[in-house]
Amino acid sequence: METMGDDLETMKRVPLAPEHVSRIHDIGTERTYRAGDMVAEVGDPMDEFLYVTGGEIEVVDPYSGGRMFEAAIGPTQFMGEIGFLNAGSWTLGMRAAKDTTVIAVPREDMLDLMRRVPELSDHIITVYAARRRRTFEESRSSIKLVGADQDTAVQQVESFLRRNRIPYQAYDLEGSDEESVALCTLAEHTPAVIFNRDEVIADPTPRKIAQRLGLDLDINRDQTYDVLIVGGGPGGVAAAVYAGAEGLCALLVEDTAIGGQAGTSSRIENYMGFPTGISGSDLVYRGEIQALKFGTRFVMPRRVVHLDKLEDGRFCASMDDDAKVSARAVVVATGVQYRRLPLDRLAEFEGAGIYYAATDMEARFCRRSQAVVVGGGNSAGQAAMFLSRVADHVHVVVRGDSLASSMSEYLTHRLENDPGITIHYESEITRLSGENRLREVTLTGPEGEEQVETTGLFIMIGAAPNTGWLNDMVDLDERGFVKTGEGIGARSKYETSTPGIYAIGDVRSGSVKRVASAVGEGSVVIGAAWDHVAAQLDGEG
């Protein structure tokens, strides 16, 4: 497993430095496993760092019981992957291939050592990230999805896993290979989510899967965080990075997937440092790893539904399951939510032909078919360019008579000159047709009605701010965006009308709706939050 990816090839030839190994010995205890002993079972918490001093540990295929990778973890190497940083669970079993000796270090002690020794941290995180990357790209996992193309609930689980870079394997109900047949039989030939070898998740939801993976943390009601960050888009994750780097005890809560709306963008070409472009999910995932490295914790999918201020000045956030978390400062980074078209049968086809993101997962449903994108902004343009690679043809539907006012010039030029894309100006979708899935839309424009056969309608018509959970705690503008800055008497550009609550990114009134801007605001806001936290701590002392 140590050979996963180019980074791992390098790390295999460069073991941990002797002084780092010595420190691991100082805080760990020696443990021995006999050949055939399970070192970690699927679903076990990653609560220890295991450094191998003798023997060999192999990755176990949960279905065959055999060895999954030719390579194994031997002396001078260590177990784990990126989930270790956020107290995740094992998604693959680990077994001693021969008599093996390890040094076991409790997770919190190891994270503390990594924070104090950056060189050690960099080495471990490089290996961890490369392992996750390979298992994700090769779909090496004990999580099996059956019939995602036929069931909205399984599709939602797949979207959650993919957007959070969690490895899984997908199977068609009509698959004929031995494993597909076995899984379909286990699932009684209906769409299902299967965990480990034989656990069929009843009524699957992203929340249930997150609980099995240790992502849905048991929030400690007695703990007070320095900073609570609500929203896991570019701004929220940037704030998480800088909060951790400044030594603040921070928690980020996200209700869907790390990346937010930007995470659904297939390619961002105007972000500095990536001349050939980068997907929104890739960009934010890198930030998430940085934040985890500095100790910020992530909880998902959890939704904050209410915010109160306590008598002692702290804030109390209530979750959608009645759990509560308190913090001395709150960063609002909830962004916006997609607007929906006022069409009959819209809800019926959502997830079954109607989508609000254009990633690999949604694009596959448009192969050998036409795709329809509604919207004239950058998100719509990026989606159209991405979908044109897989769909037979892409129709872009715009209510106005041009793209110039709402789309970057480079995207406008590409769309107008791509023979695989047709732009319909002064047009709108007026009817949806199909049985269990969307099969056709009616497009109404200057020339009358046109029927377009399609298996993918992508709605990208703007969004409204996610501020309902703030329940009058802060002042909003006439469109519902959060007011900040000197104009409302705040002490900093990002502070709201309530001291200690800050807003960044798309949810903030007057913000520039760009990824780079959100990242910049998330980076800067922590300075003001730190000052507020310090003042509170002084008062408590």
Q: State the burial class of residue 92 (Cβ atoms within 10 Å of its Cβ: 0-12, 13-18, 19+).
A: buried
Comparing CA positions, the residue from 284, 325, 318, 291 lying closest to residue 303 is 318
Strand 192-195 relative to strand 143-146: parallel, antiparallel, unpaired? Answer: antiparallel
Comparing CA positions, the residue from 453, 476, 455 lying closest to residue 464 is 476
pLDDT at 405 over 50: yes
Give residue 404's pLDDT: 67
Token pair, residue 281, equals: 């999910």
Task: Say what percent of the chain tops pLDDT 70.
Answer: 96
Q: Please, how many CA atoms are within 13 Å of residue 111, restricted to the half-sphere of its CB?
A: 20
Give residue 538's pLDDT: 82
3-state secondary structure 349-384: HECCCEECCCCHHHHHHHECCEEEEECCCHHHHHHH
In whole numbers, what is the pLDDT of the chain averaged over residues?
A: 89
462-481 average pLDDT score? 91
Token pair, residue 345, equals: 């049968």
Ordered domains of the chain (ranges, CATH): 5-137 (2.60.120.10), 143-205 (3.40.30), 224-337+465-540 (3.50.50.60), 346-461 (3.50.50.60)
Least confident of 99-108, 263-272, 425-434: 263-272
**DSSP for residue 391:** B
pLDDT tens figures, 383-394: 999 999 999 999
Identify residue 33 by its one-letter amino acid code.
Y
Comparing CA positions, the residue from 233, 244, 305 lying closest to residue 511 is 233
Give residue 6's pLDDT: 44
- Quick one: pLDDT band at residue 14, thresholds 50, 70, 90? low
Distance CA 525, CA 511 (A): 13
Comparing CA positions, the residue from 225, 229, 230 lying closest to residue 255 is 230
Distance CA 362, CA 15 (A): 41
Give residue 221's pLDDT: 66
pLDDT tens figures, 287-341: 999 999 898 999 999 999 999 999 999 999 999 888 899 999 999 999 988 788 9
Distance CA 222, CA 326 (A): 8
SS3 category, 527:
helix
C-alpha distances (whole Å) from 20 to each of 24, 113, 121, 125, 221 are 6, 9, 10, 14, 36
Least confident of 42-51, 132-141, 265-274, 498-507: 265-274
Phi, psi of 80 (to 5 degrees): 115, 170
Q: Give the DSSP H/E element, type plus range, for residue 50.
A: strand 48-54
175-198 average pLDDT score? 79
pLDDT tens figures, 59-110: 998 878 889 888 899 999 999 999 999 888 998 999 999 999 999 999 999 9
Global pTM value: 0.81
Token pair, residue 473, equals: 């705690």
Give residue 196's pLDDT: 84
Give residue 11's pLDDT: 45
pLDDT at 158 over 60: yes
- Quick one: pLDDT band at residue 5, thresholds 50, 70, 90? very low
Distance CA 237, CA 162 (A): 18
pLDDT at 256 over 90: no
Inter-residue contact 413 to 420 (CB < 8 Å): no
Inter-residue contact 50 to 104 (CB < 8 Å): yes
C-alpha distances (whole Å) from 39 to each of 59, 73, 168 are 10, 12, 22
Inter-residue contact 62 to 92 (CB < 8 Å): yes
Identify residue 487 by its one-letter amino acid code.
G
- Quick one: pLDDT band at residue 7, thresholds 50, 70, 90? very low
Distance CA 540, CA 534 (A): 10
- Which alpha helices (DSSP H) does 59-117 contain, by range? 107-116
Distance CA 127, CA 20 (A): 15
Q: Omega before 301 cis (within 30°)?
A: yes
